[in-house]
Structure 1
Amino acid sequence: HLMFEGSVHVAKAEHMRLIQGAGGSLNATTNPDRTNYFETVPSEHLALALWLEADRMGGLVPALTQETLDNQREVVKNERRQRYENVPYGDAWLRLLPMLYPPGHPYHHATIGSMEDLNAADLESFKEFHETYYAPNNAVLTVVGDTEPEEVFALAEKYFGALRPRPDIPPAPDGRHVPPRGPVQERVVADVPAPRVYLAHRTYPYGTPEYDAVTVLAAVLGTGRGSRLYQNLVDGRRLAQPENIAAYGVDLAHAPAPLIMTATARAGVSVEELTEGLVAVVDEVAANGVTEAEVARAHALLTTSWWRQLSTFEGRADILGRYAVQFGDPARAAERLPGWLSVTAERASEIAAELLRPDERATLTYVREAVE
């Protein structure tokens, strides 16, 4: 948020005004592994976009004020309320992370932070953070579209070349070893429309062959009407709502990434019945594996999803930048689809038996508040 509030040569809100005035759009995202700033502009305004990015990388701190911090602190707190606290099931991710990762682990808490964190952070902390991490040697610039490499490199040198690198940037914390925690359960009584269950297991880091198998397994379990969860809990036992059933991996690269399975109860179905049904499907897959037909279907779904993302220049830029940040090599993006397609039914079954163990499962349930 502060990165959009002005820098040395750009007044408050002018960054957004200049990009939108040029017919473009802009935004930013955060996840546990990276912060991503992105703009889409007509190709004749590439220089403008790069100049703005360089100015806030090198010139944000002198423009930061206590007033700006206080205003944006309240914006983020309202965002937390709107996205996490005041919507049904919105805090599930905030609850799952500490169930999966112990205190002190880099993934123990969500990037949004707690209200206590937001209230405690002072102006000097933000300045120190920016000066530590926002440097050209800790960033990846990705440009996709109607331009030539020579133009991009020349503009990058022009605008970023004068920014000094920082030699002492702390490395990403190594969270790959997570000690066994045993089964963890949490029951939440809240103002929700229906009972919901989340089952979560730590797996392998994103980008590994093992995580490719987890991705295929997630598609078998929870993607679409042909998935195990849908077939058993929606069409079969009619325990779950069809629009709120899924299984997915969260692509975290610096620790065993979570595989999450979730279902929301139909009217009249208790949280105990739903939990039993969801656990039964997961345990069945762990015990007896998946079929070749299910894996073939997963391959088709993942292939479609991959090429759909690559069909837009925004999608290509995001993937290339992500692989450059997380793995140091954008070319590794070419490994992803072949990695998924190499997963056999036998391998997916092995990974299910290894990972979907009840003794290493986090179970989060939501139940409705009693109506007086």
Structure 2
Amino acid sequence: QLISRAGGSENGSTAEDRTNYYETVPSNRLNLALWLEADRMRSLAITDENFHNQRETVKEERRLRVDNQPYSPAFIDGMTWPFDSAACFAYAHTVIGSMDDLNAAQLSDVRAFFDTYYAPNNATLVVVGDFRPLELRRYVNQYFSEIPRHAEPPPVRCTARLAPGVQRREVTAVHANLPAVLRNYRAPPHADPDTRALELLNVILGQGESSRLNVAVVRREKAALGTQVIVNPFDSRRGPGVLLVLAIANQGVDPLKLDTLVTAQLDSIRATGVTDEELTKAKNTFRAGFVHSRETTLGKAEELHHYDMFHPSLAEINSDLERVLAVTAADVRRVAAKYLDPANAVVIVVKPAAAGGAQ
């Protein structure tokens, strides 16, 4: 309410490696936004009433965004299946949690989590826009300097071995009308140099009307209603990631046949690579998105936080595009051969329930 009354907006999000809160306010209310963030960090009201209210809110969000959507349960849960809970607990569990997780959560769990992670020595503050640097420093010192440091959070360790052998699962989707195939491939951490070539491979395979999968599987074979390829769909990762390949079958198409058609396109790139035309188009698409993401003050702030969080150096924010544009066709073929190895995949076949699509 305070931000809204000041003519601003605010929101937040949670992903595997970070939670972020952000406000956009008129320049003369910068002090309000900083005071509110400091108040949140210093003295969040973690009461029994707030806990139960927010738990019900998250449960309803899960019902709306996951449980009652056709392919979302397989999509969300499937992202965890390439990882072993003992070696990689953080990525072997969904961010939103299962209903069992949410029901089992205790107020003491929330307080312990807050005390562990919500501290100035575990936070990054980014301010972008119309402000005076000296005034900003004064506000930050005024509102944050007396918030004590906490003990360093325990390091998150994640061991994920590439190509341990193909895994196959079959799941039933209550709200789906059509079968689908989801292939999850283990991918490197975002900071790995291979990520840049993988992002271009992602575009070539699954973005746009001229992508490999859309041309071959949707338009030519008419075997799929749609296809999509995504690297780390929710956020970048400090640890191992996932490259997801999704295809929703057309009416009457066997999902195993669909999977064969999809893997044929993946194997083609692994064997013979991509064309210069495909690579140029992918770079143009990437560059357009890269520039677009920095057009607003909020976009600039998110980019600064991204590079501080997921890259070896914040300075890469000014040189990363050149590195992507320097990727060669040989680089794309190399990462395709490495990460699209069938032994590196978790293959999920989603089948409608007997009364598929029933609400």
Common fold by TM > 0.5:
yes
Give the structure 1 partner of residue 155 of structure 2.
172
Residue equivalent to 2:51: 69
1:300 aligns with 2:300: no
Hey, what's the Cα distance between the residues in 2 that align with 1:268 and 1:93? 22
What is the CA–CA distance in structure 2 between the aligned matches of 1:254 and 1:128, rounded to whole Å? 23
Q: Deviations over 1:312-352 (max 9, x none)?
A: 11111111112223347433322331221111001101111
Q: Which amino acid aligns with 2:65?
A: R
- Of stretches 124-133 and 331-340 in structure 1, the one that deviates more from structure 2 is 331-340
Instruction: Return the letter of the residue paired with 1:339.
Output: R
Query: What residue is the counterpart of 1:351 in the other structure?
Result: 335
Structure 2 unaligned residues grouped into runs of 5+:
none
User: Is the 8 Å Cα contact of residues 175 and 254 (structure 1) preserved in structure 2?
Assistant: no
- In the alignment, the residues of structure 2 paired with residue 292 and residue 305 of structure 1 have an alpha-carbon distance, to the nearest angstrom, of 20
**Do the aligned partners of 1:215 and 1:249 also contact (CA within 8 Å) in 2?**
yes
Match of 2:213 among 197, 210, 229: 229
Aligned match of 1:9 = none
2:304 is the counterpart of 1:286: no
8 Å contact kept, 2:158–2:239: yes
Output the CA distance in 2 between the equivalents of 1:370 and 1:177. Answer: 36
C-alpha distance in 2 between matches for 1:155 and 1:109: 38
The alpha-carbon deviation at position 123 of structure 1 amounts to 1.5
SS in structure 2 of the partner of residue 91 of structure 1: helix
- What is the root-mean-square deviation of aligned Cα atoms in Å? 1.7
TM-score normalized by structure 1?
0.90
Tell me which moved more, 335-344 or 177-186: 177-186
CA contact (8 A) 1:93 1:110 kept: no
Question: Alpha carbons of 1:314 and 1:88: their partners in 2 closer, same or farther (altered >3 Å)?
Answer: same
Q: Per-residue CA shift, 1:256-311, capped at 9, x if unaligned?
A: 21111111122232212211211111111112211121111110000000001111
**d(CA) in 1 for partners of 2:217, 2:350:** 18
Residue 46 of structure 2 corresponds to residue 55 of structure 1 = no
Which of the numbers 64, 73, 77 marks the counterpart of 1:82?
A: 64
Aligned counterparts of 1:268 and 1:164: Cα–Cα separation in 2: 62
Q: Which residue pairs with 1:144 in the alignment? A: 128
Distance 2:239 2:116 in 1: 23
| Letter in structure 1 aligned against 2:84 | P
Q: Residue 111 of structure 1 corresponds to which residue in structure 2?
A: 95
Task: Give the CA deviation at 1:370.
Answer: 2.2
Instruction: For residue 194 of structure 1, report the CA deviation from its aligned partner.
Output: 1.6
Distance 1:326 1:346, change over 3 A: closer
Deviations 1:62-86 (A, max 9, x none): x321111111111111111111111
**Matching residue's letter, 1:246:** Q
Q: Deviations over 1:157-176 (max 9, x none)?
A: 1111111112x222431215
Partner Cα distance (2:222, 2:160) in 1: 39
Question: What SS does the corresponding residue of 2:79 show, helix, strand or coil?
Answer: helix
Which of 352-361 and 180-189 deviates more? Answer: 180-189
Q: Deviations over 1:19-60 (max 9, x none)?
A: 111111111101101101011111111100100000010011
Task: State whether residues 176 and 205 of structure 1, in contact with CA within 8 Å, keep that contact through their aligned partners in structure 2.
Answer: no
Structure 1 distance, partners of 2:66, 2:186, is 22
Structure 1 residues 52, 224: closer, same or farther in 2, change over 3 A? same
Partner of 1:249: 231
What does residue 188 of structure 1 align with?
171
Tell me how far apart the structure 2 counterparts of residues 256 and 288 of structure 1 sit (CA, whole Å): 26
Going from structure 1 to structure 2, the CA distance change for 1:339 and 1:208 (only over 3 Å counts) comes to farther
Q: Which residue identity does 2:191 align to in structure 1?
A: G
* Correspondence list, 1:181-220, <5 A: 181-190=164-173, 191-220=175-204
Equivalent pairs counted in the alignment come to 351
Is 1:91 aligned with 2:79? no
Q: 1:103 to 1:181 in 2, by over 3 A?
A: farther
**Partner amino acid for 2:196?**
D
* Equivalent residue, structure 1, for 2:310: 326
